[in-house]
Structure 1
Amino acid sequence: MKLKNYILTCIILLLCFTASAQYGSQKKADNLFNKFSFVSAAEVYHNLIEKDFNADYATRQLADSYAYMRNPDSAVVYYQKAVQQNNIPIEYYYNYAQALRGVKDYKQSRVWLRRFKDAGGVVKKDKYLKDSDFITSIFNAKQQYFLADVNFNSKYSDFGAFEQNGIIYFASSKDVGVSTKHIYGWNEEPFLDIYTVQNRTDSIINHKSKIKGDINSIYHDGPLTITKDGKTMYFSRNDFNKNVLGKDDEGMTHLKIYKASLVDGEWKNVEELSFNSNSYSTGHPALNSDDTKLYFTSDRSGGYGGSDIYYVDINNDGSLGEPQNLGSVVNTDKNEMFPFVNSENALFFSSDGHAGLGLLDIFGTVSDANNNMISVLNLGVPVNSSKDDFSFFMNDDGLSGFFASNRDGGVGGDDIYAYDRIPQLKIEGTITDANTNAPVPNAVVTLLDSNDNKIADLQTDENGHFEINIDRDTDYKLNTKKDNYIDDSRMVTTKGVENSVTSINADFVLNPVVEKELPITELYPIYFDFNKYDIRRESTAELDRIVDLMMNKYPNMVIKIESHTDSRGTYAYNNKLSKERANATYKYLIANGVDASRITEYDGFGERKLTNDCDGTINCNEDQHQLNRRTQFIVVKME
C-alpha cells in the first residue's frame, strides 16, 4: 500500500472511530440524564459541545441539567445559548424564564415568559411559587411520564411493585382463592401478602401467585427489595416472627424489616434486622445500586418529625451499621416514606411535607459532584395527583417502572400504575449502492435543521449504517455524500410520531458516478486575502472562465464549491469564514448567469483540509498560508 493511501485510510478509520465514540458519549449522557444523574451527564454534554458534536442538542440538555442541579447561574448561561438556536422548541423559552426567576432577574423572566405565550405556549397555574422551586417548574414544563395499563390490580389494596429478572413482585391484600381470610381491622381488608407476576398485563392472580417460601405470614408482609444477585430479600412485615406477634408497651404492633435467602427457588431463613425495635416502626426497605446501603422509613425518635428516611451501611460480612438520617434536604417535619434508589443512586421517595399536588407526592433527589443531595424534584402529573402517590420504582433503563396511588378511577383502594418516560428518538438508516445493493461505508451523512443549518456530521460504518439522536416534533434534512457517488438528500419530520416510537428509518440508495474521461483537465482554485471573503479582482478571470464553460461549452456540467481557510483564527471562526467564501463564490457565478441547479453544493470546511503542514505547529510564511485560503471547484457530472 502506498504511503499516501495508508495515511488516508488511517484518517478515515480515525474519523469513523471518533464519530462513533462521540455518538456513544451522547447516548451515555442521555442515559445518565434520564436516571437523574445530572452531574455526570453535564460533564459529558460539556465534552460534546467542545467537540462540536450535536452541540445544539447538548446545549439544551446541559441547560436542563444545571437547572435540575439547582444551579440557576449556569442554567441561565446555557438556556440563553439554547433560545438563540433555530427551531428551538418553545418550552425552552419557558425554561429560560424560570431560570431567570431563579437568579431573581424578574424583568427578563417576564420578557421570555411573554415570548413563550406569544409562540403558542400555555402557562399553567404555577404550584411552585418560591424562587427555590424554579427547578420543579422547569421539570414539569413538559410531561415527563405517561401511564400504561396494569391488569393485576384488585378491588383491595395493591402497591409496592418491584421488578427484577422478568418478575414483578408486589404487595396486595387480595386474598382470593382461599377459604380462610385474615382481616385487618383498620380497613376491613385482608392483610397484605407478597405476590408475583410475569408482566404487567397478567390478570389472573390468585393464591397460586403468592411468593414461594416463608415470606407471607398471617399479618402484613411487603413491600420488598432484592439484591442484584437475586439471592437476598429485604421486606417489611408486622412485628411477627416464629409465630410470635410483638407489641410495644401500649399494646401496639409496629413494622419491622426482615431478610430472607433464596433456597431452591423458595425464600427461606427469615431473620429480623438488628436496628428494628418494638417501640417504633421500621419499613419500606430499598437498596442502592451496589447493595452496600439499605434505605428505609422509620418514625423512631430523633428525626425531623413524622416518619423520616434513613439508611444503614451493609458491611462485607453482612452486618449492618448504625442508622443515619438523610437530613433536611429530604426529610421534613411531616412524613417521608417509600424510598427507592435507581441504578445511578438517585433517591426517590414520597412525602406530604414538600410542596406538592395533594397528599403524598413522589419526589426525586438531585445530587452534586460529591454525591451530596442538594434538592428534590416533584415528579409532577401524571405520577402525582391530589391523592396519595407512593412506592415509586424505576427499571434500570430509566424509562419505565411503577408507582401506587389511591387516586380516583382506580380498581381498588390503592392501585399500581405503570409508567413510561418518552424514550430518546433517533434516526437511523443504511446507505447502499444502487447497482450492487452492497453497503456503502464511510459515506458522510449531514443532519440539518429545516433552515439548512448543520446540526451534525456522521459517517456510515462498515455495514453502511448510521444513526443519531434527534428531537421530537421537529423537521430535519439529511444530506448524503460519498466520493464516486451522486449526492442525495431528503426531508424528514418527527412531527406526529407516537411517543412509543424510538427510531425513524431513512435509508438511501446512492447511484455511482459513471466514470468518463472529462474534457476539462482542471478547474483552478481562486484565493482570498487573510480574514476576508470578498472576491479578488484577479480571481474573476477564473470565475468568468468557469461561467463561460458552463453556459457555452458544457451546458450540462454540474459542479460543487468547497471553500477553505488557513489555520489562523479559532476553529469555529474559520468554519464561518469559509462558508462566507463559499457563499461569495456561489453568488458570483449565479449573478453571472449560471443556473443555481447546476451547483449541487457550496460549503465551507474551515481549516480541516489544509494543502500543506501549516496547521499552527510550525512557522509558515504568508505565501504558504495563502495556499490554504482558497475556493475549489469540483466537477460532479458532465452530462
Structure 2
Amino acid sequence: MKQTKYILVVLTIFISFPLFSQQGKQKRADTLFNKFSFVKAAKVYRELIDKNYNRDYATRKLADCYAYLRDPRNAARYYKTAVKQKNVPVEYYYKYAQALRGIKKYDESQEWLKRYKDSGGVVNANDFSKDVNFITSVFGADQQYFLDRFRFNSKFSDFGAFQQNDKVYFTSARDEGVGVKRLYGWNEQPFLDVYVADVNSKKNVDYSAKVKGDINSIYHDGPVTITKDGKTMYFSRNNFTKNSEIKDKNGLTNMKIYRATLIDGEWKNIEDLPINGDEFSTQHPALNVDDSKLYFTSDRPGTKGGSDIWVVDIFPDGSLRNIKNMGAVVNTESAEGFPFINNENVLFFSSDGHTGLGLLDIFATIKDEENNNEISSVINVGVPVNSNADDFSFSMNPDGITGYFASNRRGGRGSDDIYAYHRVPILNVEGVVTDAINGNPVKGAKITLFDDKGNQIAFMETDENGFYQINIDRNQDFKIVASQDKYIDDYRTFNSKKIQTELTSIAANLLLNPIPNVAKLADLNNKNLDYENVNDSTAIKQAKLNPIYFKFEKYNIQPQYALELDKIVKLMTVDYPEMAIKIEAHTDSRGPKEYNKFLSENRAKSTYNYLISQGVNPENIVEYKGYGEEKLINECADGVSCSKEKHQLNRRTEFVVVKME
C-alpha cells in the first residue's frame, strides 16, 4: 500500500474480551489475561504459584504475561521452568526460544527452536532472519482468526469495510469512468469513492453502488464511520469544498473529516469540522461506543511523528471540543493511524513505528485498571490479521465473531483487498458441583480435566457457589471428574467437536453423592439428608442414590444413564463390596395402570441385568421391583395437564442402599 495523506484509510479491529468475574482466583487471573490486563493477571498468577495451586498452568500463563509486557528477562525465567513440565504444549519451546532472543541469548534460542521443530512445530524459514520483537510472535502463536472470502473486491484498491445492520460500506478506486478517466497520479488508479452493498448480495459492485447523496466528490472520499442510530456519517475527503480544491503552502491537498446527515435516504448537509486545517491533514474517523468521542489521525502541530492518533469530545449539540493527543505510549516517531474503538472502549490502530511483522501492522492498547484506565502498553494482534505486507482497516461486526480487514499481501486481486474473517473465541467448560441429596453447592470440590488419552490437562477447585470454569481446546474429547473427601466421585465425558463458533462455553454440571458410612448416619440425618430408618436396633439407614430416567414407553438403558450405573458398579464392587441395594422402577401416569406396572417391571429388570453384567454380585441386589404409576413424585396424576419435563421426572428407576458393611 503506497498511499500517503491523499489516501483515506480506516483501520478497525475488534477483539472481544471475556467479562470480568470474581468466581475463583484462577478464573479471575484468566479473565484479566484475556482482557490484556497483563500486569494484574501476573500478580494473581504469582499468588497461585506461591500457594502451589495449579502451579504448572499458572507458571506458563505468568511467562506469557511477561512476554506481552515486553519483559523478556522475566519471560525467559518462567518459560525455562515451563519447558521442563511433563506434557507441556510444544508451542512453549518456541515461546522460550523467542524470549531468549529478547535477552540476546541467541545460541540457546537456536537450540530451543530446533527442539521445537524436532517436536513437530512448524517454523517459517525467515523467522530468525529479521529482528522481529519476540512478543509479536508469542502473541500470534494461538490463532483465533481465520480468513473467509470477500466477494466485492476489484482489481483496484479496496479497503475500509464497515458493516452496519445488513449493509457493508467500503472504499474503492474501482470507478474507471466512462469518458475521460480521472486517475490519481500517485498510483495511476482512479480516485476513491464510498460504496455500499447488501452483505449477502451476490452481485458485482460497480459505480451504481456508490452511497447516495453528496459524499463522493471528484477526489478521494472515504472510508466512513456512522453513528449507532444511523443518522450521522463522519468521512474523510480531500480538502475540497464548494467545487474548490484547497492546497497548503507546499502545494499539497490535505485531508479533512466531514460530517453528513441522512435525509430521505441520502447523505446531505456536508459540514467541514473545526478540527480540520488547510496546513495539515485530518482523517480516519472512528467513533467510540456511545458516539461521544471522535478518534482520528492527524499531523497537526503537536504531532510526535509522521502522524499521530488524536481524540476530541462530541457534545450533544454536535460541537467538538477538547482535542487531545493519545500520547507517547500509542504514538511513535513514525506513523500511526486508522484508530478504532471496540465495545470495551479499547483503542486499536495501525503503525509502522511499533515493532511488527511487516510494514503496517495492527496494534491493540492495554489499559492499567489501577491507574484510571490509562493506556500502559500496546500489543501486536498477530497473524493472520498481520503479515509481512501492509495490513489495515480491520473491523468487527456486532456479532463479535465476523468482520473485515484489508491488506496488500500477495495473493490478492488488486493493490489493496478486503478480507473477511471469522473469529473462534476461547472455549471453556464450566458448571456447578452439587450435593446430590440436598442440592447444595459443594465448595472446594476438586475438578480434574483429562484428554482422550487419560492425560491430566488441568485441575482447580470449585468456589463457594460450587462453580468451576476451565479453558479448553476445540475439536477434542475430554473427561472431567469431580471429587471430594466426603463424596463419591462423579464424572462426565464430553467433546468440543462441531461446537458453533459463537459459543464460548460447554456446560458440565456434576453431582456428588455423600458416602453413606453407617458410622456417620446419625450426623447425616442431622443435616436433613434423605435417609429413612429401616432397623432401629442396628441403626442402619437407607440412602437413596441418583435415579436414572427412561424415554416414554421405553425400558432400555440410555447411554448417559449407563454412566450413572457405572458409578454404582464401582461403589458395589470396589469401594463397598458388601453393599446391598434395592431397585425400584416407576412410570408416569399416562397409559393404563396394568401396562405401566408391566413397563416398570421391565425397567427394574433391565437395570438389574445391567448391574449384574458389569460385575455386581446378584446377592447384593436384595430386590428389583416395578411400581408402575403408584409413586409419582409430583402432581402429574391421571387427568392433570403436565409438561413433558414433569412427566419425565416420574419415568425413573431409584436405588436404595439397605446395607453398607
Bin of the TM-score, shorter chain as denominator length: 0.5 to 0.7
Quote the residue 2:600 is aligned against: none
Q: What is the identity, as a one-letter code, of the residue corresponding to 1:295?
A: Y
Deviation at 1:473, TM superposition (A): 7.2
Quote the residue 1:456 is aligned against: 460
The separation in 1 between residues aligned to 2:495 and 2:257, in whole angstroms, is 52
The separation in 2 between residues aligned to 1:127 and 1:375, in whole angstroms, is 25
SS of structure 2 residue aligned to 1:137: helix
Deviation at 1:404, TM superposition (A): 0.6
The separation in 2 between residues aligned to 1:73 and 1:454, in whole angstroms, is 27
Relative to structure 1, the CA distance from residue 318 to residue 50 in structure 2 (aligned partners, 3 Å threshold; closer, same or farther) is: farther
> 1:35 touches 1:344 (CA, 8 Å); kept in 2?
no
In the alignment, structure 1 residue 426 sits paired with structure 2 residue 448: no
Q: How does 1:448-527 map to 2 (within 5 A)?
A: 448-449=449-450, 450-451=454-455, 455-457=459-461, 468-472=470-474, 476-479=478-481, 488-492=490-494, 502=504, 517=534, 521=539
Deviation at 1:138, TM superposition (A): 1.7
1:461-514 per-residue CA deviation (whole Å, 9 max, x = no partner) reads: 99xx99753245766422357999985434445589897875557688999999
Quote the residue 2:320 is aligned against: 320
Quote the residue 2:447 is aligned against: 446
Q: What is the identity, as a one-letter code, of the residue corresponding to 2:409?
A: R
> 2:432 touches 2:441 (CA, 8 Å); kept in 1?
no
Quote the residue 2:385 is aligned against: 383
Quote the residue 1:185 is aligned against: 184
Q: How does 1:121-136 map to 2 (within 5 A)?
A: 121-124=121-124, 125-126=126-127, 133-136=133-136
> 2:72 touches 2:103 (CA, 8 Å); kept in 1?
yes
Quote the residue 1:557 is aligned against: 579
Q: What is the identity, as a one-letter code, of the residue corresponding to 1:361?
A: D
Quote the residue 1:402 is aligned against: 404
TM-score w.r.t. the length of structure 1 is: 0.63
In the alignment, structure 1 residue 64 sits paired with structure 2 residue 64: yes
Relative to structure 1, the CA distance from residue 196 to residue 34 in structure 2 (aligned partners, 3 Å threshold; closer, same or farther) is: farther
The separation in 2 between residues aligned to 1:417 and 1:375, in whole angstroms, is 27
Quote the residue 2:248 is aligned against: 248
> 2:184 touches 2:191 (CA, 8 Å); kept in 1?
no
Quote the residue 2:141 is aligned against: 141
Quote the residue 2:220 is aligned against: 220
> 1:49 touches 1:59 (CA, 8 Å); kept in 2?
yes
SS of structure 2 residue aligned to 1:218: coil
The separation in 1 between residues aligned to 2:269 and 2:477, in whole angstroms, is 59
> 1:445 touches 1:460 (CA, 8 Å); kept in 2?
no
TM-score w.r.t. the length of structure 2 is: 0.61
Quote the residue 2:643 is aligned against: none
1:598-617 per-residue CA deviation (whole Å, 9 max, x = no partner) reads: 9xxxxxxxxxxxxxxxxxxx
The separation in 1 between residues aligned to 2:129 and 2:40, in whole angstroms, is 27
The separation in 2 between residues aligned to 1:42 and 1:265, in whole angstroms, is 51
Q: What is the identity, as a one-letter code, of the residue corresponding to 1:377?
A: I
Quote the residue 1:172 is aligned against: 172
Relative to structure 1, the CA distance from residue 433 to residue 372 in structure 2 (aligned partners, 3 Å threshold; closer, same or farther) is: closer
SS of structure 2 residue aligned to 1:362: strand
Deviation at 1:126, TM superposition (A): 3.5
> 2:401 touches 2:502 (CA, 8 Å); kept in 1?
no
Q: What is the identity, as a one-letter code, of the residue corresponding to 1:184?
A: L
Percent identity of the aligned residues?
Answer: 56
SS of structure 2 residue aligned to 1:237: strand
Deviation at 1:423, TM superposition (A): 0.9
SS of structure 2 residue aligned to 1:138: helix
Alignment size in residue pairs: 513
Quote the residue 1:339 is aligned against: 339
The separation in 1 between residues aligned to 2:368 and 2:223, in whole angstroms, is 30
> 1:432 touches 1:440 (CA, 8 Å); kept in 2?
yes
> 2:155 touches 2:415 (CA, 8 Å); kept in 1?
yes
Deviation at 1:217, TM superposition (A): 2.6
Segment of structure 1 superposing worse, 38-47 or 364-373: 38-47
Relative to structure 1, the CA distance from residue 279 to residue 453 in structure 2 (aligned partners, 3 Å threshold; closer, same or farther) is: closer
Quote the residue 2:284 is aligned against: 284
The separation in 1 between residues aligned to 2:486 and 2:168, in whole angstroms, is 55
1:135-170 per-residue CA deviation (whole Å, 9 max, x = no partner) reads: 223213333432122122223321112234454321
The separation in 1 between residues aligned to 2:41 and 2:203, in whole angstroms, is 39
Relative to structure 1, the CA distance from residue 421 to residue 453 in structure 2 (aligned partners, 3 Å threshold; closer, same or farther) is: closer
> 2:434 touches 2:441 (CA, 8 Å); kept in 1?
no
> 1:70 touches 1:374 (CA, 8 Å); kept in 2?
no
SS of structure 2 residue aligned to 1:296: strand
Relative to structure 1, the CA distance from residue 510 to residue 353 in structure 2 (aligned partners, 3 Å threshold; closer, same or farther) is: closer
Segment of structure 1 superposing worse, 400-409 or 211-220: 211-220
The separation in 2 between residues aligned to 1:153 and 1:406, in whole angstroms, is 12
1:244-299 per-residue CA deviation (whole Å, 9 max, x = no partner) reads: 33233454322211122344554333211213222332211223445454332234
SS of structure 1 residue aligned to 2:389: coil
Relative to structure 1, the CA distance from residue 94 to residue 303 in structure 2 (aligned partners, 3 Å threshold; closer, same or farther) is: same
The separation in 1 between residues aligned to 2:485 and 2:459, in whole angstroms, is 22
The separation in 2 between residues aligned to 1:505 and 1:446, in whole angstroms, is 14
SS of structure 1 residue aligned to 2:279: coil
> 2:27 touches 2:469 (CA, 8 Å); kept in 1?
no
Segment of structure 1 superposing worse, 513-522 or 97-106: 513-522
The separation in 2 between residues aligned to 1:279 and 1:362, in whole angstroms, is 28
Q: How does 1:81-92 map to 2 (within 5 A)?
A: 87-92=87-92
* Two-structure CA RMSD over aligned residues (Å): 5.2
Relative to structure 1, the CA distance from residue 206 to residue 55 in structure 2 (aligned partners, 3 Å threshold; closer, same or farther) is: farther
Relative to structure 1, the CA distance from residue 83 to residue 433 in structure 2 (aligned partners, 3 Å threshold; closer, same or farther) is: same
The separation in 2 between residues aligned to 1:396 and 1:33, in whole angstroms, is 23
Q: How does 1:267-282 map to 2 (within 5 A)?
A: 267-282=267-282
In the alignment, structure 1 residue 309 sits paired with structure 2 residue 309: yes
SS of structure 2 residue aligned to 1:383: coil
Q: What is the identity, as a one-letter code, of the residue corresponding to 2:70?
A: R
Deviation at 1:52, TM superposition (A): 9.7
> 2:136 touches 2:357 (CA, 8 Å); kept in 1?
no
Relative to structure 1, the CA distance from residue 344 to residue 430 in structure 2 (aligned partners, 3 Å threshold; closer, same or farther) is: closer
The separation in 2 between residues aligned to 1:244 and 1:481, in whole angstroms, is 77
Relative to structure 1, the CA distance from residue 229 to residue 636 in structure 2 (aligned partners, 3 Å threshold; closer, same or farther) is: farther
Segment of structure 1 superposing worse, 315-324 or 504-513: 504-513
Q: What is the identity, as a one-letter code, of the residue corresponding to 2:447?
A: T
Deviation at 1:111, TM superposition (A): 7.3
The separation in 1 between residues aligned to 2:272 and 2:24, in whole angstroms, is 45
Q: How does 1:21-36 map to 2 (within 5 A)?
A: 22=22, 33-34=33-34, 36=36
> 1:68 touches 1:366 (CA, 8 Å); kept in 2?
no
The separation in 2 between residues aligned to 1:353 and 1:149, in whole angstroms, is 30
Q: What is the identity, as a one-letter code, of the residue corresponding to 2:160?
A: G
SS of structure 1 residue aligned to 2:94: helix
SS of structure 2 residue aligned to 1:350: strand
**Which structure 1 residue ranges, 5 or more long, are not aligned?**
1-19, 524-549, 560-596, 599-634
Deviation at 1:92, TM superposition (A): 2.9
Deviation at 1:236, TM superposition (A): 0.3
Q: What is the identity, as a one-letter code, of the residue corresponding to 1:446?
A: I
Deviation at 1:391, TM superposition (A): 1.8
The separation in 2 between residues aligned to 1:249 and 1:212, in whole angstroms, is 34
Quote the residue 1:236 is aligned against: 236
The separation in 1 between residues aligned to 2:102 and 2:378, in whole angstroms, is 15
The separation in 1 between residues aligned to 2:580 and 2:109, in whole angstroms, is 51
Q: What is the identity, as a one-letter code, of the residue corresponding to 1:194?
A: V
1:412-440 per-residue CA deviation (whole Å, 9 max, x = no partner) reads: 23111123333111236899999xxxx98
The separation in 1 between residues aligned to 2:434 and 2:578, in whole angstroms, is 27
